[in-house]
Amino acid sequence: MAEERLESWKEIAVYLRRQVRTVQGWETREGLPVHRLQHAKLGSVFAYKTELDAWLVARAACVKRAAPADESPEPSGLPHSPRPRLQAFVYAGCSVAVVAAGLLGWRFARANGVSARPVPLAQRYFAAATGIHGHVRLLAAPAANLLAVSPDGRRLVAASWKGEVALLDPHSGAIFRQWRLAPPISSLVVSPDGRWAYLISGNSRLTEIDLHSARLRTLALEGSTAGLALSPDGRFLYVAFPYAGIDRLDTRTLARTHWNVSACPQSLAASPDGRRLFVGFQCGGPGGSDGHDAIGALDAATGVLLSHFAGPPRVGSPLAVSPDGNEIWSNSGACAAPQFDHRGCPFVPASLLQVFTGPGLRLQHTVAITTRAPQPQFGALAFLPFGERLLDGNYLLSSTRYARLEVLPSSFSNVSAAAVTRDGAHLYLAMVHQGRTTIADFTPNPAACTPPTQDLTDWWPGDGSADDAWGMVNARPSAAVTYEPGPVGQAFDLTQPGAYLTLGADGALDFRLHRFTLAAWVKFTSAGAAPVLTKARGWYMGRDAAGLFEFCPQGVNQPGCLRSRVTLASGVWHHIAVTGNDSGALALFVNAHAVAAAPAAPLQAASRLPVYAGADSARHQFLRGSLDELMLFRRALTPAELRQLARMPACLAAAPEP
Q: 571-611, pLDDT tens digit by residue?
A: 999 999 999 988 889 999 999 999 999 987 766 665 677 88
Q: Does 203 score more than 90 pLDDT?
A: no
Element (H, E) at 239: strand 236-241
Q: Which SS3 state, helix, strand or coil, does residue 276 take?
A: strand
Element (H, E) at 106: helix 94-111
From the list 274, 200, 194, the residue with the least C-alpha distance to 233 is 274
Write out pLDDT tens, residues 260-277: 998 899 999 999 999 999
The CA distance from 546 to 565, in Å, is 10
> How far is CA 268 from each of CA 235, 329, 356, rounded to the nearest angstrom?
16, 12, 15
Per-residue pLDDT band for 109 (boundaries 50, 70, 90) equals very low
Residue type, 165: V
Mean pLDDT is highest, among 3-17, 43-57, 495-509, 561-575, for 561-575
Residues 75-86, mean pLDDT to the nearest whole number: 33
Answer for the pair 207, 199: CB distance below 8 angstroms, yes or no: yes
Residues 444-463, mean pLDDT to the nearest whole number: 92
Q: What's the gap between Cα 266 and its chain centre?
A: 26
Residues 551-562, mean pLDDT to the nearest whole number: 84
> How far is CA 67 from each of CA 346, 347, 369, 448, 648, rounded to the nearest angstrom?
7, 9, 9, 36, 34
From the list 110, 201, 204, the residue with the least C-alpha distance to 160 is 201
The bridge status of strand 319-321 relative to strand 305-309 is unpaired
Query: Mean pLDDT across the chain, nearest whole number?
Result: 83
Give the chain's domains with CATH numbers. Answer: 96-445 (2.130.10.10), 456-654 (2.60.120.200)
Give the Cα-Cα-Cα angle 295, 296, 301 (nearest 5 degrees): 150
**Which residues, 6 or more positions from 396, have their beta carbon under 8 angstroms from its beta carbon?**
125, 126, 389, 390, 404, 405, 406, 407
- What percent of the chain is modeled with pLDDT above 70? 84
Per-residue pLDDT band for 450 (boundaries 50, 70, 90) equals very high
From the list 520, 487, 497, the residue with the least C-alpha distance to 611 is 520
Per-residue pLDDT band for 336 (boundaries 50, 70, 90) equals confident
Answer for the pair 317, 267: CB distance below 8 angstroms, yes or no: yes
DSSP letters for 100-153:
HHHHHHHHHHHHTT--S-PPPTTS-SSHHHHSTT---EEE-----SEEEE-TTS
Per-residue pLDDT band for 91 (boundaries 50, 70, 90) equals very low
Q: Return the pLDDT at 377.
A: 53
Residue type, 352: L
Residues 646-651, mean pLDDT to the nearest whole number: 94
Q: What's the gap between Cα 338 and its chain centre?
A: 28
Q: Which SS3 state, helix, strand or coil, does residue 64 take?
A: strand
| N-terminal to C-terminal alpha carbon distance within the chain | 43
The CA distance from 159 to 165, in Å, is 4
Check residues 499 and 34 and name the one with the higher pLDDT: 499
> How far is CA 18 from each of CA 290, 474, 505, 506, rounded to the nearest angstrom?
45, 15, 11, 8
Q: Return the pLDDT at 509.
A: 63
* pTM metric for this prediction: 0.82
Give the Cα-Cα-Cα angle 169, 418, 363 (nearest 5 degrees): 155
Task: Sort 572 into a burial class: Cβ within 10 Å, 0-12 / 13-18 / 19+.
Answer: exposed
